[in-house]
Structure 1
Amino acid sequence: MEIYIDREPDQAKLGRSWSKLKLCFLVNPVAGLGGPLGLKGSDSIDPGEVARRLGAGMVLPSISRASRFLSELLSLGFDGLTISPEGIMGGDLLLSIGYRYIELVKLEKPYIDGISTREHTIEFVRNAAKLGCEVLVFVGGDGTARDVYHAMPLGSPFPVLGVPAGVKVYSGVFATGPESAAYLIKLYSEGLARIEYRPVIDADEDMMRQGYLKLARVGELLTLTSGALTQDSKETGYGYSVEGIAAYLREIIDPQRLYLLGPGRTIAEIARILGIAKTVFGVDALYGWRLVGTDLDSESIEKLIQIYGDPVIIVTPIGGTGFLLGRGNQQITPEIIRRAGKNNIIIVMSPEKANRMNTLLVDTGDKKLDEDLEGYYRAIVGYREEKVVKIKASWKTG
């Protein structure tokens, strides 16, 4: 591992705790790519395919979210030392955004077509303590969190915080959004954030493609937390009745409209009661009470919209995380959500979730859309039974 200082810090400015902080930062560029493609994760995506998409001008979801985190951190006044791998894993962004005090690390293993793999994540994390790391921020999903956990030295010498960018974000080590993560780092520097062990959870992508959710508790990482700035981990229980919701939907669904059925076991069970063979973790399309598409990617959804018109979106909050859009349903892109419009989003919630969730979160990757979606909605919780819930952009700190 080769280390070089890109810009020498001004020692006179390193007197405040905010400025003394040594922050290690890494990006998994592959994270989140599987969402729009209709995959159940990004673990199996070939780095060469990522390089081709970059060459075609695609903006990687993880790079976009990393940029938001770094920009927000600067706006909060951060001028400590940031340590990051060179290139696409963080160094390029730090240079382009204008960070002054950075230490870039050249990893021993070369990138594949300029794209990193899990081996690069593991190498950087294993050496982070030697680099003087005081807090590690990674941009990715549960697969990245798993790699960080396996690479972390025994005893977790420093806390970790995830910026959510993956398809699977079930672990409890993530902030609710890029801006929330930046604010958590500021709170940590002021001694105002709690530090506690939280679970690293990962799902078997192959099992999810077959319609089964198999969650594994990989371990625990020392994590920064502060109230609603950190998301909860995924619940695994399922023991409730949704017959009333199904009966109500049977009455209100217009057979002349296109309906996008979001992922999750709640909607899959409702569909089963209605006689619809829905995939459990995919986005399916319904028109005229028949499926016209299953396990769709964003491109396929857009083609169906061209045929059948603007859709109605039926979604449910994912597990215990409270996320309505932007977690596990990235196939429903900001463009598709805009085609539907906020008045054509139907929220369904099991009675169990409805009893404990008053606020639901959105993190679509489009900040303007997130703000447009904010407000109060009626969620269907039973037969002709609704509950008013508040929708909030997850990345807002207030």
Structure 2
Amino acid sequence: MLTFGLIINPFAGIGGAVGLKGSDGEAVVAEAFARGAEQRSGARTEQALEVLLPYRDHCRFITCPDDMGANLLEKLGFDYQTLPISMALPTSAQQTREAAELMLSAKPDVLVFAGGDGTARDICAVIGEQLPVLGIPAGVKIHSGVYGVTPAASGEVLRHLLDGKLVDIREAEVRDLDEDAFRQNQVRAKHYGDMRVPQAGHFVQAVKQGGVEDESLVVADIAADIINSMDDDVVYLIGSGKTTLAIMDELGLDNTLLGVDAVLNRELIARDINEQQIWALMQDHVACKAVVSSMGGQGHVFGRGNQQFSPRILRALGKDNIVIISTKTKITALNGRPLIIDSGDATLDQEWHGTVEIVTGYNDRIVYPIA
């Protein structure tokens, strides 16, 4: 079961059809209505969500009251939870940002929002790169790279996620025009930040031979990415497997193919450690992360060959401090089946259901279901 956040800017795009070149600000919205404009963002969002109608039993939503999400989800028959936001009409950027703050606490697998560049700016100001996001294009100005090319295209990306297909996740720029300058025929775009956006996955690998991954080169790329992103004074618990082995080889450290090794500041501090030793290390070091790979053919991340990562270890680490690595070939071989966590604690397994990011190359990541 995947959880999507949904924020709709009800007045996004309202100024376009009546020649106002934007919809930002209460005065523009009032003028648009005076010129006979009609709200369109709800209908645009509906086009995206209609793609997901066959998946109503496999996803749920966290959303805002009334026209900011709940009304449409009720109409389409999706399961949803409403955030406690006070509604005032017309809705404002402040309400969008308030909704985004609450979404950070709720942690949906993907935050979906409908609007234009102004809405993207408001979301970016709060979310940044903390959650995957996907925009449904509904505004007048769409210069940001966080939107699907059409509403239906945004829906297709979400459908790929629900189908367990490869979905890349990449940084995309949030840009917005100065509307006042735009009305004077001056184009002034400004970069306001970046957000992480899922995109319909396919093989886009720098190291390919005939369209098929060269396993050894890809694994080397993954190792380079992990090492490059290692933070100082953080203990990295390197799990078992050939993919993680490449990290230790690249670091020039002795390693345990079928065990767990601990690395701090790129130096080996403990080799082939058990659950109690991992727990003791975590008591002595504030910051710890685990780097694990999925089991080829089965998709297990925990519970097969790495029982050193017990439920108490996983709870103490937290899902955000688990780094999963895999080749895209291995993930594709799952044929849409989710990754599996079988920690021995059914409650923990259920809490971690949703999606995870997987490092699949150098600066290359996908988002994929875990169950």
TM-score by length of 2: 0.50
Amino acid at match of 1:126: E
Amino acid at match of 1:185: L
Contact 2:124 2:193 in 1 (8 A): yes
Kindly tell me: are residues 49 and 159 of structure 1, through their superposed partners in 2, closer, same or farther at Cα, counting changes over 3 Å? Answer: same
Distance across 1 between alignment mates of 2:173 and 2:74: 33
**2:193 alignment counterpart:** 219
Contact 1:197 1:220 in 2 (8 A): yes
1:184 aligns with 2:157: yes
1:36 aligns with 2:17: yes
Give unmatched runs, 5+ long, in structure 1: 1-19, 229-398
1:91 aligns with 2:91: no
Q: CA deviation at 1:210?
A: 1.3
1:102 aligns with 2:80: yes
Contact 1:88 1:116 in 2 (8 A): no
Q: CA deviation at 1:157?
A: 2.7
Distance across 1 between alignment mates of 2:63 and 2:22: 25
Q: CA deviation at 1:52?
A: 6.0
**1:111 alignment counterpart:** 88
Distance across 2 between alignment mates of 1:68 and 1:215: 28
Amino acid at match of 1:85: C
Amino acid at match of 1:33: I
1:173 aligns with 2:146: yes
Q: CA deviation at 1:122?
A: 0.3
1:126 aligns with 2:101: yes
Give unmatched runs, 5+ long, in structure 2: 203-371
Contact 1:72 1:182 in 2 (8 A): yes
Contact 2:113 2:135 in 1 (8 A): yes
**1:162 alignment counterpart:** 135
Kindly tell me: are residues 70 and 227 of structure 1, through their superposed partners in 2, closer, same or farther at Cα, counting changes over 3 Å? Answer: same
Q: Which digits, 9 at most, give the CA deviation of each residue in 1:320-378, with x for residues without a partner?
A: xxxxxxxxxxxxxxxxxxxxxxxxxxxxxxxxxxxxxxxxxxxxxxxxxxxxxxxxxxx
Q: Which digits, 9 at most, give the CA deviation of each residue in 1:152-205, with x for residues without a partner?
A: 16xx23210000011100010000111111110122342511101110010001
Distance across 2 between alignment mates of 1:205 and 1:24: 28
**Match 2:119 to one of 112, 121, 144:** 144
Q: Which digits, 9 at most, give the CA deviation of each residue in 1:209-257, with x for residues without a partner?
A: 11210010111001112379xxxxxxxxxxxxxxxxxxxxxxxxxxxxx
Contact 2:15 2:32 in 1 (8 A): no
Distance across 1 between alignment mates of 2:91 and 2:4: 20
**1:12 alignment counterpart:** none
**2:44 alignment counterpart:** 65
Distance across 1 between alignment mates of 2:175 and 2:29: 27
**1:198 alignment counterpart:** 172
Amino acid at match of 2:81: E
Amino acid at match of 2:42: I
Kindly tell me: are residues 74 and 46 of structure 1, through their superposed partners in 2, closer, same or farther at Cα, counting changes over 3 Å? Answer: farther
Kindly tell me: are residues 47 and 22 of structure 1, through their superposed partners in 2, closer, same or farther at Cα, counting changes over 3 Å? Answer: farther
Distance across 1 between alignment mates of 2:59 and 2:200: 21
Amino acid at match of 1:41: G
**Match 2:5 to one of 24, 27, 51:** 24
Equivalent position SS for 1:129: helix
Distance across 1 between alignment mates of 2:182 and 2:29: 24
Distance across 1 between alignment mates of 2:156 and 2:174: 22
Kindly tell me: are residues 83 and 119 of structure 1, through their superposed partners in 2, closer, same or farther at Cα, counting changes over 3 Å? Answer: same
Amino acid at match of 2:73: L
Structure 1 stretches (4+) deviating beyond 2 angstroms? 44-53, 75-79
Equivalent position SS for 1:162: strand
Kindly tell me: are residues 183 and 167 of structure 1, through their superposed partners in 2, closer, same or farther at Cα, counting changes over 3 Å? Answer: same
Distance across 1 between alignment mates of 2:31 and 2:167: 36
Equivalent position SS for 1:39: coil
Equivalenced residue count is 201
Identity %, equivalent residues: 31
Distance across 1 between alignment mates of 2:51 and 2:31: 26
Amino acid at match of 1:67: E
Distance across 1 between alignment mates of 2:107 and 2:80: 13
Equivalent position SS for 1:66: helix
Equivalent position SS for 2:105: coil
Amino acid at match of 2:4: L
Contact 1:47 1:116 in 2 (8 A): no
Q: Between Structure 1 and Structure 2, whose CA radius of gyration is higher?
A: 2
**1:208 alignment counterpart:** 182
Alignment of 1:379-394 (within 5 A): none
**2:339 alignment counterpart:** none
Distance across 2 between alignment mates of 1:50 and 1:91: 26
Kindly tell me: are residues 21 and 227 of structure 1, through their superposed partners in 2, closer, same or farther at Cα, counting changes over 3 Å? Answer: closer
Contact 2:83 2:102 in 1 (8 A): no
Amino acid at match of 1:28: N
